[in-house]
Amino acid sequence: MKLRTALALSMLAFCVTLQAQLSKTEKKIIAEVSKNNAEALKFLEANVNINSGTMNFEGVRAAAVPFEKAFADLGLSVTWYDMPEEVNRAGHLFAENKGTKGKRLLLIGHLDTVFPKDSPFQKWQKQDSIAWGPGANDMKGGNVVILYALKALHAVDALEDTQIIVALHGDEEASGKPISESRKHIREAAQRSDIALGFETSTGFNNATIARRGSSGWELKVTGKRAHSSGIFNERVGAGAIFETSRILHQFYTDVKGEQYLTFNPGVILGGTKVDFDNLLERGTAFGKSNVVAQEVIVTGGLRFITEEQKENARAKMREIVKNNLPQTSAEISFIDSYPAMPPTDGNQKILAALSEVSEDMGQGPVEAWDPGRRGAADISFVAEFVDGIDGLGTMGRGAHTPQEYLDLRTVEVLTQRAAVLIYRLTRD
């Protein structure tokens, strides 16, 4: 199978002669990762075989247990945070190494997947260098990169006196609300850190993410005057809820669309005489007749943005469009914040440059920034206001969020080596 980048297979075989720019300690770190690679893949397989769909709280907790033990064995203090009942999520695993040397790092992953307990896609399957499995790439593979990078550093005494916090969320795929509760611990950790490294899936061997778009939900409710359809358009009956909704959505498309990195999508629409919609299940019913003017419409959708300013400007335009109603109709729009934006910053670019230098010193070529318009939201965005960071340091594969999700096993060892050397250098800076 082809990877998304021109990934040199000779490089993945990794019979590369290490460059002179690597220190003796860095060479030892790389050797430790190689020594433990088979063990890392077994650990990953076992964790993938634990169903940890976001709403399978027992499964998420079970997926955390092997990491708890492994981090504790490295000398990290380990804490499991249960979520309050109203958040309705399993909880989060944090592990911390305390010290004063170099940059203070926050390493971010997540334990949950999009595959529920009753999903037919449950188990790890391997053929040659490809492994299929729920969360194999998104992002249990990234969690294993974190663990085995730290394990290599521990083996050469490079964790001593470093400040590193590992945050593995149990609800990244469907974050619990309110966000102030479900992301409280990582935001507190970020305020005790200098740099955040996200281990979501890699978009390409020579790419990393220095910016991510934020996401926001919106809900549009439109009301018209119920009447016989023969009276539509007259002064007494007006346009009806469906025509008013059509006007609004069309103006969103013509008047709001166009800014780079700004997108919005109406995902569900229901309209007629009576509408029932369940926001939690994102499904509903509508009743109406062709000879009755529609009385209700509901539309739910999402909005993506690269900065908070862009988000607020788009919302203002949408509100202005919504209030200019057709005759005998009314409409209101509400917005729900989800993931904030992670805008590109000079600090993020500097961390990317450090990663690129590591890659080149290892004979793997430079690393460039990935287009943020081609990445979704992620947990690193919740800490972007506090620390500089980069993401996409996890494993490589394709098919995330589908039953075809797979991991290219050839990438695990070398990406773990690169992450370990990056962490080593940052904690010496």
Taking the C-alpha atoms of residue 89 and residue 83, their distance in angstroms, rounded to an integer, is: 6
Q: What pLDDT does residue 9 have? A: 46
In sequence order, which residues have a C-beta less than 8 Å from that of residue 324 and are 6 or more positions away?
none
β pairing state of 274-278 and 195-198: unpaired
Read off the pLDDT of each residue in 115-125 and give the average, rounded to a whole number: 96
Q: Is the pLDDT of residue 57 over 50?
A: yes
Q: What pLDDT does residue 20 have? A: 54
Name the more confident of 280 and 264.
264
Q: Is the pLDDT of residue 2 over 50?
A: no
Two tokens, residue 84:
């309050």
In sequence order, which residues have a C-beta less than 8 Å from that of residue 179 and are 6 or more positions away?
337, 338, 382
Q: pLDDT by residue (tens digit) across 71-82?
A: 999 999 999 999
Burial-class residue 371 by CB neighbours within 10 Å (0-12, 13-18, 19+). exposed
Matching residue, tokens 């209101």: 332
What sign does the CA torsion over 220, 288, 330, 317 have? positive
Q: What pLDDT does residue 8 have? A: 42
DSSP string, 15-36: -PPPPTTS-HHHHHHHHHHHHT
Two tokens, residue 171:
């609800």
CB 425 within 8 A of CB 359: no
CB 94 within 8 A of CB 167: yes
Q: What pLDDT does residue 389 have? A: 98
Q: What pLDDT does residue 280 have? A: 76
Taking the C-alpha atoms of residue 299 and residue 303, their distance in angstroms, rounded to an integer, is: 13
Q: Is the pLDDT of residue 63 over 80?
A: yes
Q: Is the pLDDT of residue 4 over 60?
A: no
In 3D, which of 151, 150, 83, 153 has the Cα closest to residue 111?
Answer: 83
Q: pLDDT by residue (tens digit) across 355-392?
A: 999 999 999 999 999 999 888 788 999 999 999 999 99
Q: Is the pLDDT of residue 249 over 50?
A: yes
Would you tell me how many other CB atoms lie within 10 Å of the CB of residue 206? Answer: 19
CB 373 within 8 A of CB 95: no
- Write the single-letter amino acid at 190: A
Read off the pLDDT of each residue in 240-264 and give the average, rounded to a whole number: 97
DSSP reduced 3-state for 294: coil
Q: Is the pLDDT of residue 131 over 80?
A: yes
Taking the C-alpha atoms of residue 325 and residue 249, their distance in angstroms, rounded to an integer, is: 12
DSSP string, 46-102: HHHTS--BTT-HHHHHHHHHHHHHHHHHTT-EEEEEEPPGGG-S-EEEEEEE---EE
Q: Is the pLDDT of residue 416 over 90?
A: yes
pLDDT bin (cut points 50, 70, 90) of residue 17 is very low
**Average pLDDT of every residue of the chain:** 94
Would you tell me how many other CB atoms lie within 10 Å of the CB of residue 8? Answer: 12
- Per-residue b/e over 263-299, b at no fewer than 16 CB within 10 Å? ebebeebbbbeebebeeeeeeeebebeeebbbbbbbb
Burial-class residue 100 by CB neighbours within 10 Å (0-12, 13-18, 19+). exposed
Taking the C-alpha atoms of residue 172 and residue 192, their distance in angstroms, rounded to an integer, is: 21
Q: What pLDDT does residue 373 have? A: 86
Distance, C-alpha 222 to centroid of its chain:
32
Read off the pLDDT of each residue in 318-322 and give the average, rounded to a whole number: 98
In sequence order, which residues have a C-beta less than 8 Å from that of residue 123 and are 6 or more positions away?
48, 49, 133
DSSP reduced 3-state for 231: helix
Q: Is the pLDDT of residue 244 over 50?
A: yes
Q: What pLDDT does residue 375 have? A: 80
> What's the alpha-carbon Rg for the chain, to the nearest Å?
24
Q: pLDDT by residue (tens digit) across 18-40?
A: 455 899 999 999 999 999 999 99
Q: What pLDDT does residue 223 have? A: 98
